[in-house]
Amino acid sequence: MKRDTKMKEKGRLIVISGPSGAGKSSVVFRAIEGRADMCFSTSVTTRAQRPGEVDGREYFFIDLDRFHEMVANDELLEHAMYVGNAYGTPRKFVEDKLAEGMNVLLDIEIQGARQVMEKVPEALKIFIIPPSLEELRNRLVKRGTDSAEAIEGRLKRAREEYQEAVFYDYIIVNDDLDVAAEEFNAILTADRCRYPFRRHWLEEV
C-alpha cells in the first residue's frame, strides 16, 4: 500500500571501478553535474592531514588505534594499505547518506570493491573502461605523468582488473565522454525501474 510518490526512497550505493586512465572521474563528474541526489563517499585515513585539507571533507583523519578498532567492529565497508597508510570506507557515513536518499558513489579499485560487494551485495556495480588498451596507453603517454615502465605496469594492472569485470552489473566504454555520461545516468534511471524497487507499486493487490 506504499504508493506515496513523495515517500523518501533510500539511495543506492554505486561502486565504480576500472583501470587508471579510463577516465572514471571525468565520466562520473560529467554525469552527476547538477544532480543533487549524488555524493561521493568520504574515506577515513591514517595519513597526516595536509595543509588546506579539512577533516570530513577530503578525509576523516584518524589514528591507527581508531583504524584498528573500526576494522575490528566492522565499521568499514572496505579497507586497504597504501604507501604505509591505512584507508577505509566508513559504513556509518555511507548508510546515513543512503538513508537520506542520497546515491553514494564509491570510486574504488577492485580489491576494495570486492570487500564492498561482500558486505553490500545489492550495490550497483559499474566498470568503466577505455575503448582499448592501446588507447589507454596513448592516454597515459599523453598525460605525461608516468615513466614508460610505470605505464607498462598500469597496463599489466588493467589486464588483471579486466578479469574482475564479470562481477560488475554494467560496463561503460569511455570512448565519447558525453555518451559515457549519458549511459551512466541511463543506468541509474533504469536501475530505479527494476522490479525490487518498484514492487511497492504492485502491493495494493
Footprint of a copy of itself (CB under 8 A)? 3, 5, 129, 131-133, 159, 162-163, 165-166, 168-173, 175, 182-183, 185-187, 189-195, 198-199, 201-202, 204-205
Please give the backbone phi and psi of residue 30, each rounded to the nearest 5 degrees, phi first.
-60, -40
How far apart are CB 191 and a copy of itself at their closest, in Å?
Answer: 7
In the complex with a copy of itself, which residue's Cβ is closer, 83 or 193? 193
Q: How many residues does the chain have?
A: 205
Q: Which of 2, 21, 7, 64 is nearest to 154 (CA)?
A: 21
Give the pairing type, strands 85-90 and 76-82.
Answer: antiparallel
The cell numbers describing 33, all together, are 553535474
Please give the backbone phi and psi of residue 168, each rounded to the nearest 5 degrees, phi first.
-100, 150
Strands lying side by side in the sheet with 59-61: 59-61, 43-45, 85-90, 76-82
How far, in Å, CA of 77 to CA of 112, rounded?
A: 8
How far apart are CB 77 and a copy of itself at their closest, in Å?
Answer: 23
In the complex with a copy of itself, which residue's Cβ is closer, 76 or 136? 136
How far apart are CB 31 and a copy of itself at their closest, in Å?
Answer: 13
How far apart are CB 52 and a copy of itself at their closest, in Å?
Answer: 38
How far apart are CB 167 and a copy of itself at their closest, in Å?
Answer: 9
In the complex with a copy of itself, which residue's Cβ is closer, 147 or 195? 195
In the complex with a copy of itself, which residue's Cβ is closer, 118 or 169? 169
Alpha helices in 89-132 (DSSP H): 91-99, 110-119
In the complex with a copy of itself, which residue's Cβ is closer, 145 or 163? 163
